[in-house]
Amino acid sequence: MTKILCIEDEPDLREAIAEELEDADYTVCQAGDGRQGLEVILAQKPDLVLCDITMPNKNGHQLLRDIREKYPVFAEMPFIFLSALADREHILAGLKNGADGYLTKPVDFEVLLTTVKASLRQIDRIKHKQKDVVVLDF
């Protein structure tokens, strides 16, 4: 079962998102800030991370930088920002920083689920392609 990590410092919002994802048949793990988020990523190796930006301890940008720079093993793990920083400048900064998607709050859950699915589908395609290449080589 596909595992999604939701990192969000607002507990009410985090729980609502987790519930929505669970309803869509994903396994969900949660973290309340960036530092805790990193620990969960390393321990539980989620298939996708949905992450807030403005958080105590370690913000979303710092966490994403850490993952991309220090943990290449998670290079294929889609990382999607879900932030209340909703202007163009912040969206561009998030995507330039290496995020695979940027959703703004408040978020329509249909859009959230579709974005998550699209990201996972893309990863699936890449993985299949890599498998095919190996077969051809043989």
Partner 1 sequence: MTANAKKAPVADAMFTSAASLDELTSLKAALDEHAIVAMTDTTGKITYVNDKFCTISGYRREELLGTNHRILASSHHPKSFFANMFKSIANGRTWHGEIKNRAKDGSYYWVDTTITPFQDASGKVSQYIAIRSDITSRKQVKEELRAHRDKLQELVHAATQALQTKTVALEEALAKEKRMSELQRQFITMASHEFRTPLAIIDATAQRMQRRAAKNRLSPEDAILRVDKIRAAVQRMTRLMESTLSLARSESGEIKLDMAPCDIGAILREVCAHQQELSAGHDIKLDVVDLPVTVQADSGAVEQVFTNLISNAVKYAPDTGEIQVSAMVQDQDVVIAVRDQGIGIDPDELDRIGERFFRARTSLGIEGTGIGLSLVKHLVARHDGAVEVQSEIGKGSTFTVRIPMQNQAAQNRPKRRNKRRAA
**Binding site residues, partner 1, CB under 8 A:** 9-10, 12-13, 16-17, 19-20, 23, 33, 54-57, 59, 84-87, 90, 104-109
> b/e per residue, 13-25, with b = 16+ CB within 10 A?
bbeebbebbeeee
The residue among 5 and 21 lying less far from partner 1, judged by its C-beta, is 21
The residue among 20 and 47 lying less far from partner 1, judged by its C-beta, is 20
Q: Nearest distance from residue 67's CB to partner 1, in Å?
A: 18
The residue among 64 and 77 lying less far from partner 1, judged by its C-beta, is 64
CA 7 to chain centre: 8
Q: Nearest distance from residue 36's CB to partner 1, in Å?
A: 12
Give the dihedral sign, CA 4/21/14/91. positive
Contact 83, 102 (CB under 8 A): yes
